[in-house]
Amino acid sequence: MSVTSEVFRGSPKGKIAADKTTQTLQHNKVYNKTTHSGLCGTDEHFIHSGQVLGHEGIGVVRQLGRDITNVKVGQRVGFGYNHYVCGVCEKCLSGLDQYCEKKEYNSHDHNLSSFSKGVL
């Protein structure tokens, strides 16, 4: 299943440019409608890049991959720089999910981040 979202990228001129991106909702992913996004000093470093800006977001779950059991459609969620952690390793269970060996950062895909109307 595919989802299309309006996103806001940096540009070579340092202006934020609107764009659309289409992503595949995989079995282990969640599609969130973004309702709020933080502005981080890190975004200033990427304003001249073509990547979608922002990495601190809040949203509402709109669609679930078939293997997702820990959140529900309509639930409010937050996300940060890590877009995925396993949730079951020693690091995750001790509250140190930033050290999870299976983590995925928002920078692993420059089309995903919180300056968007929706994010996986």
CATH number, residue 108:
3.90.180.10
Catalytic residue, candidates 4, 24, 36, 45: 45
- Which of 24, 42, 48, 108 is flagged as catalytic? 42
Closest of 107, 96, 102, 116 to residue 31, by C-alpha: 116
Pairing of the two strands 82-84 and 76-79: unpaired
pLDDT tens by residue, 48-103 = 888 888 878 999 999 999 999 989 999 999 887 776 788 899 999 998 988 999 88
Find out whether 61 and 74 touch, Cβ atoms under 8 Å: yes
Number of domains in the chain: 1
Q: 17-39, pLDDT tens digit by residue? A: 899 989 899 898 899 999 999 88
Q: What was the pLDDT predicted at 61?
A: 96
24 included as an active-site residue: no
Catalytic-residue membership of 35: no
pTM of the model: 0.77
Strand order in the sheet with 30-37: 76-79, 57-64, 30-37, 118-119
User: Domain of 97?
Assistant: 2-119
